[in-house]
C-alpha cells in the first residue's frame, strides 16, 4: 500500500500587509484573490484593470508564490517597468526572478537560451530597422532582379510587407494585392526575396523583431519537452492590454498555458486600436470559448475621470456596433466644469490656444506640465504646436516620433532648398543626389567634384539656371531619367531669376522628384506625404526662403542643443503624443487637437468607406478622451487655409456629433492678432 504524503504550501514569506479588500472594489478584489485558473477581466477605460494585475502579482507573492513562477506580459517595456515598480512598492521583496516585459522581450529571453534548436547560436544578433535594411539590400542584390525600367520596392517597403505577413497571418500575395497593389507585377520576385531573406538571417545568425515572436512560438511548438518545462515554470501568466494581441501572441499564450496553470488576461475591447498591425479583437472576445469555465470579471466603475468626462466617453463609444456595451459609472465626485469644445479659427490659432491655456493652467491653477498631455491622431498634426511651444519656451517631450524637423523626409526636402540657396553646401548636395537610384557615397563624391568646378557653384546670389550644369555632370546610368528630372526641378526653384517662394519650392521638389522616391522607399508613404504638405502650409507664411530655412534650423535645435539631443530629461515637461502611444496612460489635463473630419477620423479611413475601420477610429477617439482625469479640451480648426488636400473649410469630426450638447461646454476663442 502506498503512503500518502502531501506537500504543504510554505508560509507566506514577505507578507505585504496590503489590505486588498479595502484598496480594491469588489470585482477587482474577486479577480485579484481568485484561485488559480483562467480568468478574464474585461472592463472599460480607467476601471483599474492594470491596477488589478499589479495587485494580483502582489497577492500571488503574498500567497507564497515564487517570483520565478510568474510571467507578466505588458504592451510596452515602459508599462512593464512601471508595473514592476508598483509591485515593488507594494511588496518589499526581491522580484528580479519574475519574468516581466513585452512579448518581444520575453521571446528574446527564451530564444537566447534555446535558439540552437532552430539553428541559431546563443549569441544571435537582434537587428534594428537599419540593420534590416542593409541586409535586405544585400539580399535583393543576390537575387538578380532585373530592376531596369521600373523600380523594385525599396528595403523599407519589403520589410513592412514581410512584417505584415507575420503579424496578420495573411499571405504574402494578399498583403501585396491589398495594400501595395502597385507592386503586384513584382510578386514572384518579392516571394524570392522573402525566402532568401529568411535563409540569410539564419546564415548570419541574426533575428529581426518579428522573429522574436514567431520563432519563440515555433520553438515551443517544436520541442514538447521544453514546452513542458516552461509550463511548469510559469504557473501564473498575466497579460495586460490583451485586446491588442495578434494571432502569434495569442497562440503563444494559449500554448504556454497547460493543465493546472493560472492565466489572467485583462483588456477592453473598446480600446482595440492596432488591427492595422494585425491585432485581433477576436482574441479577447473569444476568450471564454477558448477557455471554457474561465471566470469573467467585469468592472463597471471608472476611477480615473470626473463624471463629466466619463459621461462624454460613454456617449462617444456608444455608436459602435461591434462591442460589448458597457456603461461606466464614475467613482470620483462631480467637478464644476464640463469638457470643453473649442472651435478655433485655424491651425495656428489652435496652437496659440493650446499653448496659452497650458500656461494658464500652470501659472494660475497650479497644474504641473507633466500632468498635461496634448493628443492627436497623427504625428504631423503636432507641427504647429511644436513650433508654438518652442517659441514660447514651454518644454515638451514627444512620444509619437521624432521631432518634426528631425525626420528624414523633412530633412531630404529641406536639402534641396538649402542647396539652391547655398551652392557650396556639400552636405545638402550629397543628401539630395543620394536620393537617386544607384547613387551611393562614391558616385555622390564624383558628382560633387564635378559640381564644385562649375561656374554656377562659385556664383553668389540667384543663378539663372542650374539645369545646364547639372546635366553636364557624370550621372550614373541607372539614374539618367531621374537625374534629368532633378535638373529640371532645380530650375523651377530659381525660376525667373529669383528664388521661388518656400512653399512653391517644396511643391516642385515633391512633385518633381521626391514623391516618387517616397512611394518606393518608405512603408508609410501617405504619412510622410502629409508631413511634407504640412511643411508646405507652414512655408506659406514665408516669402523668403532663407528666412524659412533659418526658422527650420532653429526649430530643430530645440532644447538649446543643435543636435536635438537632450542631455537630461526634464521632468517638468508637457507630453505630446499620438493617441496610439498614449494607451494605458493618464493625465490630469488632456487636449485633443485636430478634431476634424479627415484628420480624426483619418481621411484614408473616410475614403475607404469601411465601417470596421471607422469603428477602430472611434475606439481611438474613445482611448483619447478616456486618458483625462480632470479636464478635457476638444479642439478643432474651422478652416485650414493652406490645405493642400482639398477643402479649406473643415468639417468638425463626426465623432463630435455623438457628443450631446449638454455634456459639453463650447468655448469661443477670441482676441489674438
Which residues are tagged catalytic?
49-50, 240-241, 271, 627
Of these partners, Mg ion, ligand ATP, none, which one is at the site of residue 268 (CB under 5 to 8 Å by kind)?
ligand ATP
Decide whether 48 or 278 has the Cβ nearer to ligand ATP: 48
Residues 59-118 that bind ligand ATP (CB under 6 A): none
Of these partners, ligand ATP, Mg ion, none, which one is at the site of residue 638 (CB under 5 to 8 Å by kind)?
none
Of these partners, ligand ATP, Mg ion, none, which one is at the site of residue 101 (CB under 5 to 8 Å by kind)?
none
CA atoms within a 13 Å half-sphere pointing along the CA-CB vector of 572: 8
Of these partners, ligand ATP, Mg ion, none, which one is at the site of residue 48 (CB under 5 to 8 Å by kind)?
ligand ATP
Q: How many C-beta atoms surround the C-beta of residue 285 within 10 A?
A: 18
Decide whether 539 or 584 has the Cβ nearer to Mg ion: 584
Of these partners, ligand ATP, Mg ion, none, which one is at the site of residue 51 (CB under 5 to 8 Å by kind)?
ligand ATP
Least Å distance, CB 267 to ligand ATP, is: 8
Integer distance in angstroms from the first to the last C-alpha of the chain?
95
48 counts as binding ligand ATP under rule CB under 6 A: yes
The residue number with the shortest CB distance to ligand ATP is 48
Residues 560-599 that bind ligand ATP (CB under 6 A): 584, 586
Of these partners, ligand ATP, Mg ion, none, which one is at the site of residue 46 (CB under 5 to 8 Å by kind)?
ligand ATP
Least Å distance, CB 624 to ligand ATP, is: 11
Q: Which of 276, 303, 542, 644 binds ligand ATP (CB under 6 A)?
A: 303
- Dihedral (CA of 10, 16, 22, 24) sign: negative
Three cell numbers, residue 241: 492590454
**Total binding residues toward ligand ATP, as defined by CB under 6 A:** 16
- Dihedral (CA of 524, 535, 428, 492) sign: positive
- Tell me which stretch binds ligand ATP (CB under 6 A): 23-31, 198-206, 345-353, 639-647: 23-31
Adjacency order of strands within the sheet including 574-578 = 396-398, 574-578, 372-376, 587-592, 628-637, 340-344, 665-666
Helix, strand, coil percent values for the chain (each to nearest 5): 55, 10, 35
Q: How many C-beta atoms surround the C-beta of residue 401 within 10 A?
A: 18
φ, ψ (nearest 5 deg) of residue 372: -120, 140
Decide whether 303 or 448 has the Cβ nearer to Mg ion: 303
Decide whether 75 or 522 has the Cβ nearer to ligand ATP: 75
Q: Which residues bind Mg ion (CB under 5 A)?
A: 49-50, 584
Three cell numbers, residue 549: 530655412
Decide whether 240 or 520 has the Cβ nearer to ligand ATP: 240
Decide whether 48 or 67 has the Cβ nearer to ligand ATP: 48
49 counts as binding ligand ATP under rule CB under 6 A: yes
Buried-state track 292-318, b at ≥16 Cβ within 10 A, e below 16: eebbebebebbbbbbbbbbbbbbebbe
530 counts as binding ligand ATP under rule CB under 6 A: no
**DSSP 8-state assignment for residue 241:** S
Q: Which of 62, 156, 244, 268 binds ligand ATP (CB under 6 A)?
A: 268
Of these partners, Mg ion, ligand ATP, none, which one is at the site of residue 305 (CB under 5 to 8 Å by kind)?
none
- Tell me which stretch binds ligand ATP (CB under 6 A): 45-53, 396-404, 538-546, 570-578: 45-53
**Dihedral of the CA atoms 317, 323, 324, 328 (nearest 10)?**
-10
Residues 6+ apart with CB under 8 A from 476: 436, 437, 438, 439, 443, 483
- Tell me which stretch binds ligand ATP (CB under 6 A): 43-51, 117-125, 221-229, 383-391: 43-51
**DSSP 8-state assignment for residue 329:** E
Three cell numbers, residue 450: 564635378
Q: Which of 16, 27, 46, 470 binds ligand ATP (CB under 6 A)?
A: 46
The residues facing 246 across adjacent strands are 279
Three cell numbers, residue 560: 538649446
CA 31/CA 247 separation, integer angstroms: 25
Task: Tell me which residue has cell 507652414.
Answer: 538
- Which residues bind to ligand ATP, rule: CB under 6 A? 24-25, 28, 45-51, 268, 271, 303-304, 584, 586
Amino acid at each position: 500500500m502506498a503512503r500518502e504524503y502531501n506537500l504543504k504550501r510554505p508560509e507566506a514569506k514577505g507578507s505585504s500587509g496590503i489590505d486588498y479588500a479595502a484598496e480594491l472594489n469588489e470585482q477587482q478584489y474577486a479577480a485579484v484573490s481568485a484561485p488559480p485558473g483562467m480568468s478574464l477581466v474585461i472592463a472599460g477605460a480607467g476601471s483599474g484593470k492594470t491596477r488589478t494585475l499589479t495587485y494580483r502579482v502582489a497577492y500571488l507573492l503574498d500567497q507564497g508564490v515564487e517570483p520565478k513562477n510568474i510571467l507578466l506580459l505588458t504592451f510596452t517595456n515602459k508599462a512593464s517597468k512601471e508595473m514592476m515598480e508598483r509591485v515593488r512598492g507594494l511588496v518589499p521583496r526581491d522580484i528580479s526572478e519574475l519574468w516581466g516585459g513585452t512579448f518581444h522581450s520575453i521571446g528574446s529571453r527564451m530564444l537566447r537560451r534555446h535558439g540552437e534548436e532552430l539553428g541559431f547560436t546563443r549569441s544571435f544578433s537582434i537587428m534594428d530597422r537599419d540593420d534590416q535594411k542593409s541586409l535586405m539590400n544585400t539580399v535583393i542584390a543576390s537575387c538578380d532582379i532585373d530592376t531596369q525600367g521600373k523600380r523594385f520596392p525599396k528595403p523599407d517597403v519589403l520589410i513592412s510587407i514581410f512584417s505584415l505577413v507575420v503579424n496578420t497571418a495573411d499571405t504574402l500575395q494578399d498583403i501585396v494585392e491589398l495594400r501595395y497593389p502597385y507592386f503586384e507585377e513584382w510578386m514572384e520576385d518579392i516571394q524570392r526575396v522573402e525566402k532568401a531573406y529568411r535563409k540569410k538571417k539564419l546564415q548570419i545568425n541574426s533575428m529581426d523583431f518579428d522573429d522574436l515572436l514567431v520563432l519563440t512560438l515555433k520553438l515551443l511548438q517544436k520541442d514538447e519537452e521544453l514546452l513542458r518545462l516552461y509550463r511548469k515554470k510559469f504557473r501564473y501568466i498575466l497579460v495586460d492590454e490583451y485586446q491588442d494581441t495578434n494571432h502569434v501572441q495569442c497562440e503563444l499564450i494559449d500554448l504556454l498555458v497547460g493543465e493546472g496553470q493560472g492565466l489572467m488576461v485583462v483588456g477592453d475591447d473598446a480600446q482595440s486600436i492596432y488591427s492595422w498591425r494585425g491585432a485581433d479583437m477576436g482574441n479577447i472576445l473569444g476568450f471564454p470559448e477558448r477557455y471554457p469555465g474561465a471566470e469573467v470579471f467585469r468592472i463597471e466603475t471608472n476611477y480615473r475621470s470626473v463624471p463629466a468626462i466619463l459621461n462624454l466617453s460613454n456617449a462617444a463609444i456608444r455608436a459602435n456596433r461591434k462591442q460589448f456595451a458597457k456603461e461606466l459609472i464614475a467613482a470620483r465626485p462631480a467637478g464644476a466644469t464640463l469638457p470643453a469644445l473649442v472651435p478655433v479659427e485655424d491651425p495656428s490659432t489652435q496652437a496659440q490656444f493650446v499653448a496659452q491655456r497650458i500656461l494658464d493652467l500652470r501659472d494660475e491653477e497650479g497644474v504641473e506640465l507633466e500632468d498635461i498631455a496634448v493628443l492627436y491622431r497623427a504625428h504631423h498634426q503636432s507641427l504647429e504646436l511644436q513650433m508654438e511651444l518652442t517659441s514660447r519656451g514651454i518644454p515638451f517631450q514627444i512620444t509619437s516620433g521624432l521631432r518634426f524637423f528631425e525626420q528624414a523626409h523633412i530633412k531630404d526636402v529641406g536639402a534641396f532648398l538649402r542647396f539652391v540657396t547655398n551652392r557650396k553646401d556639400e552636405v545638402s548636395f550629397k543628401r539630395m543626389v543620394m536620393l537617386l537610384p544607384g547613387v551611393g557615397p562614391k558616385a555622390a563624391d564624383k558628382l560633387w567634384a564635378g559640381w564644385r568646378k562649375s561656374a554656377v557653384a562659385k556664383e553668389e546670389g540667384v543663378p539663372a539656371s542650374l539645369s545646364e550644369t547639372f546635366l553636364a555632370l557624370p550621372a550614373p546610368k541607372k539614374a539618367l531619367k531621374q537625374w534629368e528630372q532633378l535638373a529640371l526641378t532645380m530650375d523651377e526653384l530659381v525660376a525667373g531669376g529669383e528664388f521661388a517662394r518656400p512653399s512653391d519650392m517644396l511643391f516642385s521638389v515633391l512633385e518633381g522628384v521626391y514623391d516618387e522616391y517616397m512611394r518606393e522607399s518608405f512603408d508609410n508613404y501617405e504619412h510622410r506625404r502629409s508631413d511634407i504638405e504640412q511643411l508646405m502650409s507652414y512655408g506659406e507664411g514665408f516669402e523668403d526662403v532663407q528666412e524659412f530655412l533659418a526658422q527650420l534650423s532653429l526649430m530643430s535645435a530645440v532644447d538649446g542643443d543643435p543636435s536635438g539631443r537632450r542631455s537630461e530629461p526634464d521632468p517638468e515637461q508637457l507630453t505630446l503624443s499620438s493617441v496610439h502611444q498614449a494607451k494605458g496612460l493618464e493625465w490630469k489635463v488632456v487636449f485633443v487637437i485636430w478634431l476634424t473630419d479627415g484628420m480624426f477620423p483619418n481621411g484614408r479611413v473616410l475614403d475607404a468607406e469601411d465601417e470596421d475601420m471607422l469603428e477602430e477610429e472611434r475606439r481611438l477617439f474613445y482611448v483619447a478622451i478616456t486618458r483625462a482625469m480632470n479636464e478635457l479640451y476638444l479642439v478643432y480648426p474651422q478652416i485650414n487655409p493652406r490645405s493642400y488636400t482639398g477643402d479649406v473649410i473643415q468639417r468638425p469630426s463626426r465623432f463630435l456629433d455623438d457628443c450631446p450638447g449638454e455634456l459639453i461646454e463650447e468655448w469661443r476663442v477670441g482676441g489674438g492678432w
